[in-house]
Structure 1
């Protein structure tokens, strides 16, 4: 079921092969041999501990605006989002038909979580196409500013882009979720829609996409397909379907055509909700907040772990959200911690940090010359080399095959300074460390390890950030 992408102004003379609304044609289609997986609850197991976590969250007196989990660097899960996926009454009544729409943030968080669990799949959020569309309507071109995140996805095999659609051409007025999957291997855009109404891409949307992907791939020769998929003509569950289709794509599972019933939808809602609360755990479960954000110094990946030689770890708890961090991930020495010491992980910061204090010092020309001493740079360099300073970036530098996706992700967030200040820092590092300037290995080490580690020191001095706060601010 493929259709060739059309150029602007062309008309489609050959309709796409989709399920017909004609009963006779539909019957013929249903009688065809199924080529994919039928729905089974065994494909979506629900752990009792995660179900109990949801029950506990609902039983506690929490504000719906409370952050309950950090899914990724950009995705914060709020209690209201979880309730949109699994309203409290569904915990006990799986036959209920009262199901709310998922919030945009719930869909974005879940799909980001699905992508984070893979090495070759990456997710964009629902706002992305809206921003591209605004640019196109105003300038007939997507701005470079709104392409930065997309350009970071060029190494991945699949890009997941959830969309909100509705009547008309304005993507900001829709209320129905669909999913576009960009398969870089087959040069195909797969469209998933549980109602089977938005299974093509309009000429206007295609022009926007071609321009947005201009620095990654030419979409002129790509095809658009609407593969066999599970369906239910129910707009309230469209967000659940999009999350499920995203997971099937991440697993590389092909589905058959099957209409799901109410109990199956309840199971999927419980499954996705239970996955989303995996990061809401206690210290007894040895879960560090930095692990969930991908910035843990002892990051786990499948059966492997960074710094496997370290057997004893110190922990510190946030006084506000009560979650836990490794002391090394927090950047705090327990030698200076007493029972009266207060600690906040940064959960009280509601807005994106603007680094006002640091920027003020930048304008005064203080940063490189006065805030970092040569001896600090040298001590950091020696500590990273001999292992007395533990660093996730240094571990990935020495073990590049450990988790390639994480290595690439961290290498893209090494500094927030402008080009001039960054250049001055790098020159200073070369001078102090006497590393060879013509060595690619030295350059990679400075950019991906030393510069971000020095940035953490600078942010501690200027903004009062500890290591975890600085990692999340980059």
Structure 2
């Protein structure tokens, strides 16, 4: 039986080099919307996205600035985690949005929207639900019908079941994205956690960690408008 672990701040410590890399990237005069890296040419990342995860103020000792994460930030981090594990794959939130629009309009999702679906491991026949606020008790039947349609060529989710994994509980209204990223990391790394409500201090630790991980491989020069260049 896997050991169930309590939250440990030691696991998410980032070193001075990572902290300085974040600080350098998040300061100065730059185009915050410019894409600085992508995963599989599908999941872009900009400075604006990084700032939504870990604002430069959060690198200080006492700041508590915690904005909502951008959709692209969450998509990028989850895709980054999936890329590092051969048993997992990621879908962006926009995939489901496109499916949903087609489903509402036609009650059928066009094959053209499914061409780039990753190969998924259906061996367990489970839809795993991660709800950090613990407000979800079941998947809406219309959403299930949509998913059955999407995967109609792969069995249509016949005999599948919903599972609700134990995860950290969210006690605020702004850190939803961080809990998504952390749940994905725990799943990919097969880390079983105990159910516990995380404090804002712990959320701050996770934001710094995920921010540092997201730019770990961003090694190109980032040039300021004023001509200064920071080499990572």
TM-score by length of 1: 0.45
Greater relative CO (CA pairs within 8 A, separation 6+): 2
Q: 1:36 offset after TM fit, Å?
A: 2.1
Unpaired runs of 5+ residues, structure 1, are: 1-33, 158-183, 284-320, 325-474
Of the three residues 115, 134, 157, the one matched with 1:148 is 115
Write the deviation string for residues 398-447 of structure 1: whole angstroms up to 9, x where unpaired: xxxxxxxxxxxxxxxxxxxxxxxxxxxxxxxxxxxxxxxxxxxxxxxxxx
Based on CA coordinates, which of the two structures has the bigger radius of gyration? 1
Q: 1:224 offset after TM fit, Å?
A: 0.5
Q: How many residues align structurally?
A: 224
**In structure 2, do the counterparts of structure 1 residues 143 and 282 end up closer, same or farther at CA, with 3 Å as the change threshold?**
closer
Of the three residues 65, 78, 84, the one matched with 1:111 is 78
Q: 1:282 offset after TM fit, Å?
A: 4.9
Return 234-243 or 60-69, whichever deviates more. Answer: 60-69
SS at match of 2:162: strand
> Is residue 2:8 matched to residue 1:70?
no
Equivalence for 2:181: 243
Return the alpha-carbon distance in structure 2 between the equivalents of residues 64 and 137 of structure 1: 35
Unpaired runs of 5+ residues, structure 2, are: 222-228
Q: 1:322 offset after TM fit, Å?
A: 9.2
TM-score by length of 2: 0.89
Q: 1:255 offset after TM fit, Å?
A: 1.5
> Is residue 2:21 matched to residue 1:53?
yes
Equivalence for 1:211: 149
Write the deviation string for residues 214-257 of structure 1: whole angstroms up to 9, x where unpaired: 12243121110112110113221000000000111111122211
Write the deviation string for residues 45-74 of structure 1: whole angstroms up to 9, x where unpaired: 423322211111123321211223334421
**In structure 2, do the counterparts of structure 1 residues 323 and 147 end up closer, same or farther at CA, with 3 Å as the change threshold?**
farther
Return the alpha-carbon distance in structure 2 between the equivalents of residues 250 and 239 of structure 1: 17
Return the alpha-carbon distance in structure 1 between the equivalents of residues 15 and 82 of structure 2: 20
Of the three residues 86, 92, 106, the one matched with 2:60 is 92
> Is residue 2:231 matched to residue 1:263?
no
Instruction: Assess if the C-alpha contact under 8 Å between 2:53 and 2:73 holds in 1.
Output: yes
Cα RMSD, aligned residues only: 2.2
